[in-house]
Amino acid sequence: MHSVYDGIEEHDNHLPNWWLFILWTSIIFSAGYWFWYHIAEVGPGQLGEYAAESAEVAKRASGNAPASDGMLLALAKDPASLESGKQVFQANCAACHGVQGQGSIGPNLTDAYWMHGGGPMAIHKVVADGVVAKGMPAWERTLGAERVKAVTAYLLTLKGTNAPGGKEPQGEPEQP
């Protein structure tokens, strides 16, 4: 078609391919987007993203909460925290306390004897602040509060396992 009005010509050109390409791709994209987020809900969507972010913020806030006996005992039952505590232990503590906590340069952490107390907060304090003069480093600064809690929780699960080949007891039996 080709029309002329008042000497002004209207051409009926084909739409350029690049233009059609963008048109069809956006239509296909929007259908996919709609399906992905709103129908199948494979992607998290706005509400999902919001929930994930809130959970992350809550987790960070609890990571900053001061440790307590109750919190450490709860972490000692949390598989994710124990897994992270175990990794921290293997990477930072096993060299002195043995891979199973059986002791070598540092004391046995699997027996019932403790120099600085075997309660959750007593262990947490030694790990966080160290006994620097006796060769036990302070870890809170290097590892951060969250990992110190995780490794303390992990130690609570090693306690009383009496790993084979353990170092002789040091300190006092833990008071029940």
Q: Which residues bind ligand HEC (CB under 6 A)?
A: 92-93, 95-97, 105-107, 109, 114-116, 123, 126-127, 131, 134-137, 139, 151, 155, 170-171
Q: How far is the CB of 58 from ligand HEC (least distance, A)?
A: 26
CA-wise closest residue to 11 among 21, 23, 25, 1: 1
Q: Which is nearer to ligand HEC, 48 or 63 (CB)?
A: 63
Asked if 107 and 115 count as a contact pair (C-beta separation under 8 A), the reply is: yes
Distance between CA atoms of 99 and 71, rounded to whole angstroms? 25
Instruction: CB nearer to ligand HEC: give 37 or 113.
Output: 113
Least distance between ligand HEC and beta carbon 33 (Å): 47
| CA–CA distance, 174 with 176 (Å, rounded to integer) | 6
Which residue spans within 12-127 are E strands per DSSP? 113-114
User: By the 8 A CB rule, do 175 and 117 touch?
Assistant: no
CB of 128 to ligand HEC, least distance (A): 10
Cα–Cα distance, 133 to 153 (Å, whole number): 25
Q: Least distance (Å) from ligand HEC to the CB of residue 120?
A: 11
- Nearest to ligand HEC of 65, 105 (CB atom): 105
- In the bound state with ligand HEC, the residue whose beta carbon lies nearer, of 37 and 137, is 137
